[in-house]
Structure 1
Amino acid sequence: MKIVMIEPINISMMKIEECRQRMEAEGHELIAYSTRAEDDQEMIKRIKNADILIIANQPLPSEVIRAAENLKMISVAFTGFDHIAMDACRENDILVSNSSGYANQAVAELAFGLTIDLMRKIKDSDQAVRAGKTRAGLIGNELAGKNFGIIGFGSIGQKTARIAAAFGCNILVDDHKKHQLGEELGVEYLSIPELMQKSDIISLHVPLKDSTVDLISADEIGLMKKDAILINTARGPVVNSEALAEALNKEKIAGAGIDVFEMEPPIPSDHPLLNAKNTILTPHTAFATEEAFIKRAEIVFNNIEAWLKEEPQNVVS
């Protein structure tokens, strides 16, 4: 089988060579590109004869997939797969596996990092010191005893809940399925409107699909407490950015920590959140740790090996 890694997946050349040897020992060929393709035509050239494709988060449109006549399997070095034309995969009987779970800890940690920064005004405090100012106007809030709302109580949501519980927060979730962790942490199950009203911190951990686009819009934001904050390390389109920016600028809510946008950074200079008050913006870094990238590479190649043994795993199509 010809395996093509169409873009870098943030692992060292040493690790790539280990993976190459692992594949060659089974009689397969691995071609790994060190840069992203500049356009669709370049992508088509790269994967034209591929049997298996490895891709991270570069958009993979239907015309590229349909041009790869030998393509049978895609191993996505990412949790989300909304950047892949799944209709073309289904039409051509191409199996797609993702790398779900590789960044659970990384994303949960950044979600909480953004939370602490906003609650304790760390960014503003740093700027104050550098400008020769005092702590005036920088009195923060403690996390203990706060209601920490989690929308999306999957693996990452549960990791985040454990961290929040360790800080003494009360955990509120929108998922009404009974989880063992929920019982352990004394989770309170609420509808999204109830959670928005009651939470001091709201952290989003849902996948992007039709039902979650604009899940948090003006109506939901309007239910939040004036001193509440919103954290989004999930997907950009889950939150209506214009509605969020308006609420921040009118001081209807206290702040927001945003790692994801409607597009991959760099984001356009006129994006509404760039100049919104009381925000911390990060360029989609929640998943990006050295430890997570190593885990991801292992999952990517384990997915391929499992498929070759006719025991596919992490299947999304």
Structure 2
Amino acid sequence: MKIAFFNTKRYDRRFFDAANAQHGHDITYLDPRLEVNSAVIAAGHDAACLFVNDDGSAAVIEVLAEQGIKHLALRSAGFNHVDLKAAEQAVITVCRVPAYSPHGVAEHAIALMMTLNRMTHRAFNRVRESNFALEGLLGFEMHGRTAGVVGTGKIGAAAARILAGFGCRVLAYDVYENDELKALGVEYVTLDELFAQSEIITLHCPLMPETEHLINADTLAQMQDGVMLINTSRGKLIHTDSVIDALKTGRVGHLGLDVYEEEDELFFEDHSGDILQDDEFARLLTFPNVLITGHQAFFTRHALEEIASVTLTNLTQLERGKPCPNTLASW
């Protein structure tokens, strides 16, 4: 199969080349993100491979269909950036990598918590300047704290287990309860109860119409003063203006983000020589109790190996007409 890989980096090529030794696909690595203007580059290929910040809108799918694309292979678990109805109309099969790094993402969420709590990033910079003063670095013990986990799929479940290991009281909310977590002592509660009781809240739910801006002025008002809020899931789960207001009032005492609702034009690229145009993002960077990483929670060696292997296996199964369990839409 001839595959047009959009939005690729050196690490993508390294891991996909290694995985492709078992599949023998004809891969064309492309630097541009997939969008309307770049979609024409896919001409002459059977499939296009997309990442989380590529554009899979109806307009882009229409152009891809005109180029003869029959399959969209997402090298991600999330698929909110792809218009599945448009794919159906274009008779384009869509497949994804459903779970490639649950432990890695959960561990990164915990790393954000611990860094914000003990302020190791600030301490590191102080020590490099021979400043060994402890003033301003006071943290708290995780043991005995109440932590709320919103979404207990594979990532949320992994986070819940780590928090339970710290000795936290763990509350959880999900449409489907996990019996293994309940056996560990995790308490399933309503979302309102989780917001009201939790001192730490970590988001691990998918982005859907029902969860967009789940964290907003109203839900923030339900939370305790000084709450720690962590998001390693999808940026649009949090309404940025509302969380900035909550940071100013002290309702949010710590904010850890690996995702941002307008990240598409920022993340995965080097903008160090550019003038930052996003005023909300710039405002977040002014808070000393905000820690932001650039969508790197998934970024482990194991995850990249799994993404490459599953993505190419999906396409091999589709090429051979075999059932592909990771298919989102097949027409």
Return the TM-score normalized by structure 1.
0.90
Give 3-state SS (helix, strand or coil) of 1:256's partner: strand
The 5 Å alignment of 1:4-153 reads 4-8=4-8, 11=11, 13=13, 15-24=15-24, 29-37=25-33, 40-44=36-40, 46-57=41-52, 58-67=54-63, 68-69=65-66, 70-129=68-127, 130=129, 132-153=131-152
- Residue by residue over 1:93-137, the C-alpha shift from the partner in whole angstroms, topping out at 9 and shown as x without a partner, is 222111111121221111000011122122232344336251123
Which residue number in structure 2 is paired with residue 258 of structure 1? 257
The 5 Å alignment of 1:117-266 reads 117-129=115-127, 130=129, 132-175=131-174, 177-264=176-263, 265-266=266-267
Identity %: 29
The aligned length equals: 312
Pair 1:292 & 2:292 matched: no
C-alpha distance 13-123 of structure 1, shift in aligned 2 (>3 A): closer
More off after superposition, 73-82 vs 263-272? 263-272
Give 3-state SS (helix, strand or coil) of 2:294's partner: coil
Tell me how far 1:38 sits from its aligned partner.
7.8
Contact 1:245–1:276 (Cα < 8 Å) also in 2? no
Unmatched segments (≥5 aa) in structure 1: none
C-alpha distance 268-100 of structure 1, shift in aligned 2 (>3 A): farther
Contact 2:4–2:27 (Cα < 8 Å) also in 1? yes
Return the TM-score normalized by structure 2.
0.87
C-alpha distance 249-133 of structure 1, shift in aligned 2 (>3 A): farther
C-alpha distance 9-163 of structure 1, shift in aligned 2 (>3 A): farther
Contact 2:236–2:261 (Cα < 8 Å) also in 1? yes
Tell me how far 1:34 sits from its aligned partner.
4.4
Distance across 2 between alignment mates of 1:152 and 1:132? 41
Which residue number in structure 1 is paired with residue 279 of structure 2? 270
Give 3-state SS (helix, strand or coil) of 2:3's partner: strand
C-alpha distance 36-249 of structure 1, shift in aligned 2 (>3 A): same
Distance across 2 between alignment mates of 1:164 and 1:10? 34
Tell me how far 1:281 sits from its aligned partner.
1.1
Tell me how far 1:43 sits from its aligned partner.
2.2
Q: Name the amino acid aligned to 2:201.
A: I
C-alpha distance 61-150 of structure 1, shift in aligned 2 (>3 A): same
Distance across 1 between alignment mates of 2:314 and 2:75? 10
Contact 2:100–2:307 (Cα < 8 Å) also in 1? yes
Give 3-state SS (helix, strand or coil) of 1:59's partner: coil
CA RMSD of aligned residues (A): 2.2
- Residue by residue over 1:165-194, the C-alpha shift from the partner in whole angstroms, topping out at 9 and shown as x without a partner, is 111111101125331322221111111111
Q: Name the amino acid aligned to 2:45.
A: A
C-alpha distance 298-9 of structure 1, shift in aligned 2 (>3 A): farther
Give 3-state SS (helix, strand or coil) of 1:53's partner: strand
